[in-house]
A and B are shown apart, each in its own frame.
Chain A
Amino acid sequence: GQTNLKSPQDLQVYVVNTNFTLRWNYTGNDTNVTFSAEYRFEDFTTDEMEWKELPGCQNVTHTECDFSSAITEYYDNHHVRIRAERREEVSPWSSIFEMTPYVIAQISPPGIELQSINGVIKIKVSPPEANQVQKMWIDDLSFKYNLVIWENSSNAEFRNQSIFPTDIIDDLAPDTTYCLKVQATYPSDSKEGLFSPIHCVKTTRKAVNVLFCATNVSVLALNMQFHLHWNNQYKQLVSYNVQYLIGYLKKLYDDYSVKWLSVPGCENITDTQCNFSSIITTTSGLFYLRVQAMSEYNKSCLSNEVKVDPLVTNEIGPPGLKVDISDVLLHIQISPPGGSENEVMRDHYDLSYRVLYWKNSSNNEEEIKMKEIKQTIGTISDLAPSTLYCVKVQAFSKAYNKSSHFSKEECVKTPGDKILPLIILATFVTALIAVLLVATPLVFVLYQAYNKIKYVFFPSCQPPLNIEGFGGQFFNSPYLSTTEEAIENCSIIEAIITEVNQIDFKDYKHSKQSSRDSGNYSNDDDTSGSKVSEETLEKEIV
């Protein structure tokens, strides 16, 4: 081969499904030039890496060729090269183009079937390689279809929506033309396929008899008991039929509309609620539910569908709580939500429990402490004695980010300290003794002082009664100054006469002054006689 011919450049492989197209550029003189390509792929079973002729790309005149028939191993790495030929001349081989078919392959547009009825659009999508024997996309169930829909008017909004192979596009305005296109995607491979051609369709008017349809269909589930609720504004008698569909059927390309089943116990009912726990036989698996309303004219209407993922839809109920106290340890016994026989929740939610406890004092709320435990029994130890504590517990699942309501509060008082009363008693007794020790001598001293004072001020001795005229002077204290008191001497004299032996003598002058008449004296002027008797008496006593 000569080196006059230029080799082709900028090799590109364009793959849609299993259609392989090779393209290149040729910058040299392209008169009477043909191109031929070679390929090889890494097959680890044989260690061969030999170049083979690429069928479909031999002696081509244009700068592109189709080599789909050559490639069968879509997951293996392939090398492709090409050269130009003119009669006997051949150019050098181009640089090698390396590729893995699956990685560079694009997804072709899917097929679309549209049906406009009842104000909604029913769409049926067929997979890109439907009815092909040789497939690039073996797993057509993993396709996720992306729908783009817009109103056929100026400055209309584009709406993106993910749809199942068989789906219904509702929430559309009636009597309006809509245009749409669909692409198939492989999310796990980050592949977005080519869009289908645009299809336009006009929506019909909505059927009038939608008044009796069930609305606001919702699910309330507690502790794996599932209830469906709905409303109906229609006043007349309507009977309902609750139906369910096993989730994965929507992923298939078969028509699942015939695969809806009736929920046992919710057929032909008039109540606007249904317990469908019986169909939730396992937590693994999604379900769809809908309500079929039948009016008395035998007209039926289907409600919206609700998707139920058992563990996600279900709400965990509050657990039961029992508390027990011993010393300063608080024992908590939790009964799991749904009862101890309900193992489903414990198994699948991987439940943990959050315990809240606080001191219940009369003043404003104390700090609430929290403890997380995995088992149904636990203890709290950092407690103060003789305090009222309140506890409440909630179950939660970290995996599903769900928590239940709190249980009822249980309050219990910690017992008082046993040592404390003893300490108090000992302190009291000691204090008592100390007080007594101090108080007794004090009292004694005070008593003595009191006695002395009393003795000074109020002596308890009295003069004898038979001493006369010693007046009040005798009863004045010998230590204190006497006051000149006008004392009635008569009374003193009486005292002298009546109590003879006890009287001190005082100046008898006072007795002279006495004006009192005693019985022993007469009223005559002769008083000398009395004086004499007084004197003799005085002498005798002295």
Chain B
Amino acid sequence: MEVNQAKQEHLLALKVMRLTKPTLFTNMPVTCEDRDLPGDLFDQLMREDPSTINGAEALMLGEMLTLPQNFGNIFLGETFSSYISVHNDSSQVVKDVLVKADLQTSSQRLNLSASNSAVAELQPECCIDDVIHHEVKEIGTHILVCAVSYTTQYGEKLYFRKFFKFQVLKPLDVKTKFYNAESDLSSVTDEVFLEAQIQNITTSPMFMEKVSLEPSMMYNVTELNTVAGGEDGESTFGKMSYLQPTDTRQYLYCLKPKPEYAEKAGVIKGVTVIGKLDIVWKTNLGERGRLQTSQLQRMAPGYGDIRLSLEMIPDTVNLEEPFDIICKITNCSERTMDLELEMCNTRSIHWCGVSGRQLGKLSPGAFLSLPLTLLSSVQGLQSISGLRLTDTFLKRTYEYDDIAQVCVVCPFTSNKG
């Protein structure tokens, strides 16, 4: 029936098969012992079965390759491969056969044919074969459009098309989170930590071959996904670096602004581009996929007009003993400021020195270091609060609370111990 139909319509038949990777045949070992009723029969049957492993028949995973059984799923970033076969079903020679394969996505149309030249003659029972590959870069409906044009022996020009529709799915879910480590103490860099959660939302295990952060020009990146002091390159995820369906994995990166950007703290502010994640994974027999995220952006910590950071502060101080800290005040605004410093005591923190003193003019991007002395009247972890800066030009006051913490201990009890 099929043949007749094809003949009525066309001399050529077009067949398409998606070439996902072949799969390894698995067999089902059912064994018995010599003393059992079947004796050696079951084992013999298994030995004779070509799909079992010689000498280890109980091993399920065989070596026999089987072709893909159905279209399967295709995910963004994977390569769509397909066999296109045009077969001359007729008994006559067909001329000038041109096979064209296009992929229509929701936004564009791509030509995937290896060659665009026509085959001059196709004998009966002969095929034109083409294997096309395309790295899928869009999600959603794709249509493979195969067009065949040819000339019959009577000079009749014929043409037909076939459409194969498939859906490209999303393989991964990526979520990110930024942590701003204010490295005020060293005063060198403003490190940013990026945590990326990558979830496998396909239905098969995924081997993560590479998950790297390509930083933007402003940053250098350190990957924190190997065990420090472990064997070289030992992953924090253990030896088996694969993600089961719905599994999520956290990757951590440390980004440091390059010196030229770090020195001018004012430069990195507002929304900055951090970089993008480059993810390469593999599935069955090395089926490969690759994705990049869009540029990851973060809002640099809102320092406002004036940034107050600490350059020096002790970890531990004695109760009721004065200690020194050094504050760094940076003008992050676009205008010159005239600053006045006010120090307000809290329940536990008492500032030493004169409150309300003038710090003078500070031009945009400039900073000044400010040594201050204070003491704590309460033991325990204490938060340093109560600094107020007032820009006398605009009469605007900036409040700085919870700037840092110190541990306040009683020197007498420690002596006793």
Do A and B interact with each other, yes or no? no
